[in-house]
Amino acid sequence: MEPFDLLRAILIVAAAYLIGGIPFGVIVAKVSGGPDPRTMGSGRTGGANTMRAIGPRLALLAGLLDMVKGTVAVLLARALGAGVEVEVLAGLAVIIGHSRSPFLGFGGGRGVAPAFGGLLAFQPLIALAILPVFIGVILITRYSSLGSLIGSAMAGILMVIATAVIPLDPWMYL
């Protein structure tokens, strides 16, 4: 890798980490006048705690914004022509930033929404395939963590199958 490319990759990954660190659950709670989600339940800023703090509608908004963080990080790397490897690293960095936000003393959520957003940008068909499973498990069991685990496992399995059959860049067909 050329020095310029390495520097660009480092800057993209650092930017993805900072994007991931934006605590939308806390921001939406503060703007709406609701309690800080970190003061409830698990003390994290993710979807379930945000829903406890400010209700389902505002939590959905915060979750969508968290999801967009993952999408933006991957698409930023793609737009800058950094390559698939850097796209993956940007996706991981946004999840780490969400989970270990530099703006919240390195606390945060669990990274489910930004992970889904990154997957949506990286492999949209797989993201759409796991979404009903994720939602279904949560509706049936009432455990968002179980939905996240099963959805993540299913995404991993489908990624292995998909990369054996189709290229990693599904957008090349559009």
- Containing H/E element for 74? helix 56-79
- Sequence length of the chain is 174
Give me the torsion for CA of 160, 162, 165, 171, rounded to 10°.
-140
DSSP letters spanning 2-61: -HHHHHHHHHHHHHHHHHHT--HHHHHHHHHTPPPGGGSTTS--SHHHHHHHH-HHHHHH
Report the C-alpha gap between 160 and 135 in whole angstroms. 22
Taking residues 7-16, report their average pLDDT: 93
Q: For 107-134, what is each residue's pLDDT tens digit?
A: 888 889 999 999 999 889 899 999 999 9
For the whole model, what pTM was predicted? 0.86
Q: For 36-63, what is each residue's pLDDT tens digit?
A: 899 888 888 888 888 888 988 999 999 9
Taking residues 83-95, report their average pLDDT: 93
What is the SS3 assignment for 107? Answer: strand
Is the pLDDT higher at 140 or at 164? 140
Taking residues 95-101, report their average pLDDT: 95
Cβ atoms 112, 62 nearer than 8 A: no
